Amino acid sequence: MSRDALEQNQIPIYFVAVIAAAIGGLIAPAATQSLNALVTPTIAVLMYAMFLQIPFLDFRESLSNKRFMSALLIANFVLIPLLVWALTRGLAEHPAVLIGALLVLLTPCIDYVVVFTHIGRGDSRAILAATPILLLLQLVLLPVYLAFMLGEQSQVVISIAPFAEAFLALIVVPLLLAVATAALAKRSRIVGRWNTVWAWMPVPAMAAVLIAVVGSQISPVVRDIDQLLPVIPVYIGFMLLAPVVGALASKAYKLPASTARAVTFSTATRNSLVVLPLALALPEEIRGLAAAAVITQTLVELVGELVYIRAVPILIWRKKSR
């Protein structure tokens, strides 16, 4: 199978991975709990593989299209947080679920959103170039959003040291390694070949992450489904409304179809696999349910992406506007 074929078939691959992991997790929960130890390293490998595909050494490209960047940032860091705040007001009596929902819904995806955008006929190169800025802004703004939306509870969440450790292990270290690799690839054929091999890795690495995450967490999700029921309508509401937010922001900035679709996919796709370790780093009394809330969002979103890749190219924009 060629690399292009692998990328074109990644959605079925991911669903097979999720279904297989879910079945295994439910049939043999004790055995699959060992997968929990693989979550962080597999995500770190995925992030390294994805960061190698991102032009971190060329920030100017991500800033050159001011209308696109303005729409993308306003949508993700102003309009989406307002939507999340409104959708999660009903979870105030479920603090663990609320924290998990906020962690995942407030952070725009920085990895497979590029792939979904490409499949959905959006400008994947623009999203790829904007990824460093999306990453840096969510790192800075997430504690601010949590402080506002959680109130007194935010002191417990934001002060937890493992948050910093998780960001260091999952983002900073893979990022620095990827930037160093990209710099060396220009001078060394061996490193260049290394880059070529790793260009194949995002899809297998994503499948491995899904197997580790779903396999290790599906049992708690099923066990706690009664406590997770209040968050499911929130995730469905987000799945329906977040693309509308992206489309409206794009229309306000008069973006052409391809970049408008890119903004739409970005607002609708969340950073669930990256923030899962952050949920697992919460205090013991809430970490399990918060992590289950994050996993639940992942499962809902995967279904949503199948709808998006078919609906977004049709709805944004009309043919005469392309």
Q: Is residue 272 part of a domain?
A: yes
Q: Is residue 314 part of a domain?
A: no
Q: What is the pTM of this model?
A: 0.78
Contact criterion met (CB below 8 Å) for 169 and 181: no
How many other C-beta atoms are found inside a 10 Å radius of the C-beta of residue 293?
Answer: 32
* Four-residue CA torsion sign, 54, 310, 86, 71: positive
Q: Is residue 29 part of a domain?
A: yes
Total domain count for the chain?
1
Q: Is residue 266 part of a domain?
A: yes
**Chain centre distance of CA 290:** 16
Supply the mean pLDDT for the chain. 84
Distance (Å, rounded) from C-alpha 268 to C-alpha 131?
15
Q: Is residue 159 part of a domain?
A: yes
- Collapsed DSSP state (helix, strand, coil) of residue 305: helix
Distance (Å, rounded) from C-alpha 22 to C-alpha 96?
23
Q: Is residue 321 part of a domain?
A: no
The domain of 111 spans 3-309
Nearest-5° angle of CA 147, CA 151, CA 156? 70
Torsion angle of C-alpha atoms 168, 169, 170, 174, degrees rounded to 10: 90
Q: Which residue stretches of the chain have pLDDT < 50?
A: 159, 320-322
**pLDDT at residue 288, rounded to an integer:** 83
**pLDDT at residue 321, rounded to an integer:** 42
DSSP class of residue 280 equals H
**pLDDT at residue 1, rounded to an integer:** 66
Contact criterion met (CB below 8 Å) for 100 and 279: yes
Asked if residue 317 has a cis previous peptide bond (ω within 30° of 0), the answer is: yes
Q: Is residue 75 part of a domain?
A: yes
Residue of 189, 102, 108 lying closest to 154 (CA atoms) = 102
**pLDDT at residue 62, rounded to an integer:** 57
In the block, residue with structure tokens 């950073």: 271
Contacts of residue 234, Cβ cutoff 8 Å, sequence gap at least 6 = 87, 88, 90, 91, 101, 105
Distance (Å, rounded) from C-alpha 198 to C-alpha 189?
14
Q: Which DSSP string do the residues of 210-265 spell out, in sequence order?
A: HHHHHHHHHHHHHHTHHHHGGGHHHHHHHHHHHHHHHHHHHHHTT--HHHHHHHHH
Q: What is the CATH number for 166?
A: 1.20.1530.20
Residue of 10, 241, 271, 24 lying closest to 120 (CA atoms) = 10
Cα 312 to Cα 180, 205, 307, distances in angstroms: 36, 26, 8
Q: Is residue 315 part of a domain?
A: no
Q: Which residues are 270's β-sheet partners?
A: 108
